[in-house]
Structure 1
Amino acid sequence: MAECTHVADLSGDVTPSSTEGCTDCLAVGGRWVHLRECLGCGHVGCCDSSPARHASAHYAQTGHPVVQSFEPGESWRWCYVDKAIV
C-alpha cells in the first residue's frame, strides 16, 4: 500500500475558522457530533456522523485532502484522497 503524500504538501500551521464549532452549522443553526479541521485552510467542519457532513463537503468543494480531529485530546489526521489515517 502506498503512503499518503498529501501530508508533505501541507504548508504548515493554519488558523481554525472557528473555535466555537462547525463554521457552517453555526451559520445556519445546525448541530454537529464531532469536528474536523482542514489542514489546507483551517476550515472547521462537522464529521460524517453529523447531519450535514460539512468537513466532507468542504473537501468535495475545495479538494483540500487532509483534515485533523478538532476534538480535545485527539491528534489524528485523515486523508480523503487515500481514505486513510495519516
Structure 2
Amino acid sequence: MAAGARWLHLRVCRTCGKVGCCDSSPMRHARTYALTAGHPIVRSLELGENWSWCYVDEAYL
C-alpha cells in the first residue's frame, strides 16, 4: 500500500500478470499500468468473480 492509500479490489493484467488496484482505489494502479504499458485487459482477482475488463473499450469481456 503506497502513501497510506487503501486498496479496495485487485486486478491482474491478462498480458503479463502485473497486479494493480481498481478504479475505486485512490491510486488506480491497474488503469494507469494498462494504458501506459499497452496491456488494456485485466481480470478481477476477487474471490468468486470471473470477469475481465478492457480499459480501451470500457467494456466487460
Taking structure 2 as the reference length, what is the TM-score of the superposition? Answer: 0.88
Q: Rg larger in 1 or in 2?
A: 1
Tell me the percent identity. 58
Q: Distance in 2 between matches of 1:75 and 1:53?
A: 20
Structure with greater helix percent: 1
C-alpha RMSD of the superposition: 1.2
Query: Gaps spanning 5+ residues in structure 2: where?
Result: none
Query: Gaps spanning 5+ residues in structure 1: where?
Result: 1-24
Structure with greater strand percent: 2
Q: Which runs of 4+ in 1 moved over 6 A?
A: none
Count of residue pairs brought into register by the alignment: 60
Q: 2:47 aligns with which of 49, 65, 72?
A: 72
Query: What is the deviation of 1:83?
Result: 1.1
Query: What is the deviation of 1:74?
Result: 0.4
